[in-house]
């Protein structure tokens, strides 16, 4: 039986641990691919185009935006990053599940443009705990910490827009919970004709998903 892939969106305030959690999730679920992002920054040593990123010039990036080929985009530290519509749509058409790690604004844009998106918000146990983590890692000046905390307040207020909330109080638990969400959603029976086609496939003896 063939199935379309699912797009999973993961958002979190800076300092909530999304990079570490994402790494843990992808290690446990090798069938899930992290989205290959389009960027205008130069490749770092060892990075390969179309493997690590899609590297494009600023002019090429702007052309993709004008053509509607980016589901969302943002400027980070002077470079542009975006989610390539063509790549995501090709992957889910092949039955591949995709994980997008993007901010709240990006999540809104993706949900508005794709038919099925499962959104997960990764939050710290509290705002004071987030501040403690930001200060403990000691890599940001005071002004940057204040900016990150102010942004976090706005981002936390967007939690009701998401399908799932995972509190990163314990790293292993947070990873396990997101793995459980993804696993459950990939086993969900689709609505309408797709469900009937699954039944017909079973009666015909077609291969089960993953075989």
Q: Which range has the worst mean pLDDT, 68-72, 139-143, 203-207? A: 203-207
pLDDT of 137 over the 70 cut: yes
Q: Which CATH superfamily is domain 7-193 in?
A: P-loop containing nucleotide triphosphate hydrolases (3.40.50.300)
- Percent above pLDDT 70 for the chain: 97
Handedness of CA 75, 72, 82, 18 (dihedral sign): positive
Band of pLDDT at residue 195, cut at 50, 70 and 90: confident
- pLDDT greater than 80 at residue 191: no
Please tell me the distance from the alpha carbon of residue 60 to that of residue 53, in angstroms, as a whole number. 14
Give the HSE-up count for residue 3: Cα atoms under 13 Å, Cβ half-sphere: 23
Residue 208: per-residue pLDDT: 53
* Of 205 and 5, the one with more pLDDT: 5
Position 7 pLDDT exceeds 90: yes
Burial 8-28 (b: 16+ CB within 10 A, else e): bbbbbbbbbbbeebbebbbee
Mean pLDDT of 164-174: 97
pLDDT at 211 over 80: no
Mean pLDDT in residue range 192-210: 77
| pLDDT mean across residues, the chain | 93
What average pLDDT does range 49-66 have in this prediction?
Answer: 96
Across 91-95, 108-112, 180-184, 195-199, least confident range: 195-199
pLDDT at 210 over 50: no
Going from N- to C-terminal start, the domains of the chain cover: 7-193
Q: Is the pLDDT of residue 22 over 90?
A: yes
Q: Using CA atoms, how far apart are residues 3 and 11, in angstroms rounded to an integer?
A: 25
pLDDT, mean of residues 98-120: 96
Q: Please, which contacts does 77-81 make with residues 24 or more away whose CB atoms are closer than 8 Å? A: 79/39, 79/40, 79/41, 80/38, 80/39, 80/40, 81/37, 81/38, 81/39, 81/40
pLDDT digits (tens, 9 = 90+) for 71-101: 999 998 889 999 999 999 999 999 999 999 9
């Amino acid at each position: 039986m063939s199935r379309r892939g699912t797009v999973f969106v993961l958002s979190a305030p800076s300092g909530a641990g999304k990079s570490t959690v994402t790494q843990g999730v992808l290690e446990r679920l090798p069938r899930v691919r992290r989205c290959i992002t389009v960027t205008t920054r130069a490749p770092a040593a060892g990075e390969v185009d179309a493997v690590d990123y899609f590297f494009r010039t600023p002019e090429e990036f702007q052309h993709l935006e004008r053509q509607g080929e980016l589901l969302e985009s943002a400027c980070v530290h002077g470079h542009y990053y975006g989610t390539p519509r063509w790549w995501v749509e090709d992957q889910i058409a092949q039955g591949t599940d995709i994980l997008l790690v993007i901010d709240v604004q990006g999540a809104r844009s993706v949900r508005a443009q794709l038919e099925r998106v499962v959104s997960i918000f990764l939050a710290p146990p509290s705002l004071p705990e987030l501040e403690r983590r930001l200060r403990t890692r000691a890599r940001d000046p005071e002004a940057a910490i204040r900016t990150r905390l102010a942004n976090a307040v706005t981002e936390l207020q967007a939690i009701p827009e998401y399908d799932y909330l995972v509190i990163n109080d314990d790293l292993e638990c947070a990873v396990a919970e997101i793995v459980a969400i993804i696993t459950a959603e990939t086993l969900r029976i689709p609505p309408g004709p797709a469900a009937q086609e699954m039944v017909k496939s079973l009666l015909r003896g077609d291969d089960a998903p993953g075989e």
